[in-house]
Structure 1
Amino acid sequence: MTGEFIRKALGDVLDFIGLTDSTGQPLAFSPHDFRRLFITDAIRAGLPPHIAQVIAGHANINTTMGYNAIYPAETIEAHRAFIARRRALRPAEEYRTPTNAEWEDFLGHFERRKLSVGTCARAYGTACIHEHACVRCSLLRPDLAQRARLAEIRDNLIARIAEAETEGWLGEVEGLQVSLAGAEEKLRQLDRGHGQHTVVGLGIPTTRSNR
């Protein structure tokens, strides 16, 4: 079913029913209007607003709440009810007050996330799988302001690989090539994330004709 087919079907139904607005004009709906109905009904039924945001594909939760035709107080109560249900399902010991040492360790993890070329996205309580060779790590979120530094690292790795190949240090070549691939991938991430975005048409799904 195409978008135009759904739009026409909605119009045909409204024409048949004969519904009008407060001014007497015929009602008109588009398929997009039903996102509002879905989000409103889902949040009224207890779906957390941030989950509705993900389902709707909104970058900002304020956009989702703009679709949600209920009062902010109802939104807050729905979210609180969701949190209460989740807490009831989890062991009580998980909600104990952390010790001073545990709290300091938790805060320290986030203080240590800032790196020279970006930010470490490693989750709290997990080990560094690359032994702090950050340029190789997929969890490094490179900073656009540090692109020149990354390019310098890449160029240095290329020079070191050439030297190692000349000197016959084949064991070192392999490790340097892994680091070079990581640096080049980080540069590609920056270019993809801050380049020109283009709209790609995915087409409209079609159905098989009845036989």
Structure 2
Amino acid sequence: MRHTGIRIEEVLELTRHSFIAYTLPTGEVVPMLQVAPSKTDAERLSLVSPELAEVLTSIIFRARASNAALPLVCAYDVFEQTWSPPMPFLFQRRYGNEDRPIGRSHIRECMVATSQATQITAAGGPLEWRTHDFRRIFVTDALRSGLPPHIAAKICGHALLDTTMGYAAIYPEDVIAHHRAFIARRRTERPSEEYRDLTATEWDEFLAHFELRKVALGTCGRDFGTPCAHENACVRCPLLRVDPVQMPRLEEIHANLGDRLQEAKDQGWLGEVAAIETTLVAAAQKLEAMRELTVRSATVRLGMPEVRRSVGRSSSGT
């Protein structure tokens, strides 16, 4: 919910077949999450970030419990009052001698227990998390990072833009007032450019941002619509998500930086010495991050059933 903004009912309906492989024009295959129709009766897709992929891998590994595949279980829909056919739901657990899907009540109990364990207080009382809070946090962070509101509405499955903008209610009142004043000014100046239905071209541009984030040492975590603040100096950039496969390449860069540092000291280039030392420290940190990733326990494949080039490139129903 935090990484995709999907609703609790959509989370509990996720299955192994919810993962879709999308092939970028560069040939790279990225995972996407196919969200089944729920509140708005509209199917949609969400990109799976590296952090979310790691969490989903752990969930699949736990649910499989050393089996070849996820167990098939039936879930009861309290709103439609119907049972689903046997499906490989991600959120399930062992209960006695049978596998059962995890329900809303169990999720609420887990969140209450977790919030109490943190002992975080707000307004003089204990802070309690609710499932919808994480959807609000996702939308709020997206808008603060510069994501256009109409694209955020598309990702979250909101039929009305005002619903998306209303998620800023978790801010203090003065911040809300300033934000709404800013939005009002933009609507006056550019009403047709910023507040309208999403076009296919804009959705393609949004997806193209993720294609451009692939760099030699890993993946750039830069937000959509923002320039590179580090002038493409990826070794020093804290937004770089390193790829352990590229460790030999980074080791070569680290060794080369050592040679350049010695040359700069010999020549008395003190300004360059400081810059190289900063890069050396960053390279060492990236190497350490790569080593930590390589020693982690083995993960399992997400089990995406097929590769469809057309997925995510449409502004219609999905």
Alignment TM-score, normalising by the size of structure 1? 0.54
CA contact (8 A) 2:250 2:283 kept: yes
- Give the distance between the partners of 2:9 and 2:157, measured in 1 at CA: 9
- Give 2:91's aligned residue: 64
Shift of 1:168: 0.2
CA contact (8 A) 2:236 2:279 kept: yes
Secondary structure at 2:238's aligned position in 1?
coil
Task: Pick closer, same or farther for the CA change 1:191–1:86 going to 2, 3 Å.
Answer: farther
Shift of 1:104: 4.0
- Give 1:89's aligned residue: 163
- Give 2:266's aligned residue: 166
Q: Which amino acid aligns with 2:164?
A: R
Pair 1:98 & 2:182 matched: no
Q: Which has the larger radius of gyration?
A: 1
> What is the aligned-residue RMSD (CA, Å)?
3.6
Shift of 1:119: 1.0
> Structure 1 unaligned runs (5+)?
1-45, 71-81, 198-211
% same residue: 36
- Give 1:149's aligned residue: 249
- Give the distance between the partners of 1:85 and 1:105, measured in 2 at CA: 21
Secondary structure at 2:219's aligned position in 1?
strand
Shift of 1:60: 2.8
Larger % of helix: which? 1
Q: Which amino acid aligns with 1:191?
A: R
Task: Pick closer, same or farther for the CA change 1:104–1:89 going to 2, 3 Å.
Answer: closer
Task: Pick closer, same or farther for the CA change 1:90–1:49 going to 2, 3 Å.
Answer: closer
CA contact (8 A) 2:158 2:164 kept: no
Shift of 1:140: 0.7
1:21-170 correspondence runs (5 A): 47-48=8-9, 50=11, 59-60=58-59, 62-66=89-93, 67-69=101-103, 89-90=163-164, 96-98=197-199, 100=201, 102-170=202-270
Secondary structure at 1:135's aligned position in 2?
helix
CA contact (8 A) 2:244 2:293 kept: no
- Give 1:203's aligned residue: none
Shift of 1:108: 2.5
Secondary structure at 1:96's aligned position in 2?
coil
Deviations 1:139-161 (A, max 9, x none): 11111111000000000001100
**Match among 184, 187, 196 for residue 287 of structure 2:** 187
- Point out which structure has higher relative CO (alpha carbons under 8 A, 6+ apart): 2
